[in-house]
Amino acid sequence: MYDIDIRVAELYDQLERDTQDVDLIQGFMNASKPVRILEPFCGTGRILIPLALAGHQLHGLDQAKGMLARARMKVALLPDKVKARIQLEEMNVTEDVWPRGFDVLILGGNCFYELGSPEEQESCVITAARSLKPGGYVYVDNNHHPEGPLSKKWQVEGVFPAFPTGISWDGTHFESTKETIWWDVEFRLIKIKREINITFADGRVAKKEMVQHKHPVSKEEVAGWLENHGFEIIALFGDRQGNLFDDESNRAIFWARKK
Ligand SMILES: C[S@@+](CC[C@H](N)C(=O)[O-])C[C@H]1O[C@@H](n2cnc3c(N)ncnc32)[C@H](O)[C@@H]1O
């Protein structure tokens, strides 16, 4: 979805302006000196750029050329010494080898919802452990689905407005919808059909369709993967304001240390 048109990255930045998670990460890191940070699923650099501005070395990975192009455009506007601290790499993080030797690794921005199965999500935790130095930290931030069968909230028929919808700088209009076309209650798996209608400024139109697979992940699953793959959970928050996780929480945000 992020690579259907280069302008999707601009619409992403129009929509996602919140940086409370960046403040949370900085609070967790409490770093008195610069550290090396890896961010798979880095997108347009919403998290990565402010961390580089704060003095850290950042390496971002993403498979979408359009998202990386926008990240590079934003990086190009930074002072030279900050630019020199940022490396961006095109990569499918479920297939390719992640670089190693990092102090901190960020799995932020709901990135597990980009993956279609618990196996793929768990393999990110395994790979994160390999990429970190001993004693390094991982930040994992996703919506929390309660353990057990697929919630009724996800079992909804109908066509709904979706991202990317909006107007880019050159007047291109995007109008998108999503429809859940299949679900498995027991295994908590979903297929979503997305339809993206693009009207370019010169009047040309284009229509794209795709099917995405999702596995709404639970706090218990992420905790289990972290514990089974060599991490000690240091903190578990239920929102980006820094409140502890409780029964009402709809996010599960982990800060965990590689043993
Ligand atoms: C919701 S955006 C989040 C971007 C950023 N982490 C943030 O919080 O703003 C998800 C990003 O994950 C990337 N992505 C999804 N699947 C991927 C994969 N298998 N390998 C690499 N990147 C992937 C998409 O291209 C997109 O840029």
- Asked if residue 88 has its Cβ within 6 Å of ligand 1, the reply is no
Compute the distance from residue 28 Cα to the ligand 1 centre, in Å.
22
Using the structure block, give the residue that is written with the tokens 């395994």: 126
Q: What confidence score (pLDDT) does residue 31 get?
A: 77
Compute the distance from residue 215 Cα to the ligand 1 centre, in Å.
16
pLDDT band at 193 (very low <50, low <70, confident <90, very high): very high
Longest Cα–Cα distance of the chain, Å, equals 57
Q: What is the pLDDT of residues 46-96, one digit of tens each?
A: 999 999 999 999 999 999 999 999 999 999 999 999 999 999 999 999 999
Q: What is the pLDDT of residues 130-150, one digit of tens each?
A: 999 999 999 999 999 999 999
- What lies within 8 Å, CB to CB, of 248 at 6+ separation is 238
Q: Which of ligand 1's atoms lies nearest the C-alpha of 41?
A: 12
Q: What confidence score (pLDDT) does residue 1 get?
A: 85
Q: Which of ligand 1's atoms lies nearest the C-alpha of 94?
A: 19
> What distance in Å separates the CA atoms of residue 195 and residue 211, rounded to the nearest whole number?
9
Compute the distance from residue 110 Cα to the ligand 1 centre, in Å.
9
- Asked if residue 67 has its Cβ within 6 Å of ligand 1, the reply is yes
Q: What is the pLDDT of residues 241-256, one digit of tens each?
A: 999 999 999 999 999 9
Percent of the chain beyond pLDDT 90?
98
- Asked if residue 219 has its Cβ within 6 Å of ligand 1, the reply is no
Question: Is the model's pLDDT at 213 over the cut of 80?
Answer: yes
- Asked if residue 46 has its Cβ within 6 Å of ligand 1, the reply is yes
Contact 63, 91 (CB under 8 A): yes
Other residues' Cβ atoms within 10 Å of the Cβ of residue 259: 10
> What distance in Å separates the CA atoms of residue 78 and residue 33, rounded to the nearest whole number?
21
Q: What is the pLDDT of residues 170-181, one digit of tens each?
A: 999 999 999 999
Q: What is the pLDDT of residues 17-56, one digit of tens each?
A: 999 999 999 999 987 899 999 999 999 999 999 999 999 9
Question: Is the model's pLDDT at 160 over the cut of 90?
Answer: yes
- Asked if residue 109 has its Cβ within 6 Å of ligand 1, the reply is yes
- Report residue 73 as tokens: 């455009």
Q: Hey, whose CA ends up nearest to atom 8 of ligand 1?
A: 109
Q: What confidence score (pLDDT) does residue 103 get?
A: 98
Q: Which of ligand 1's atoms lies nearest the C-alpha of 67?
A: 27
- Report residue 152 as tokens: 């009724």
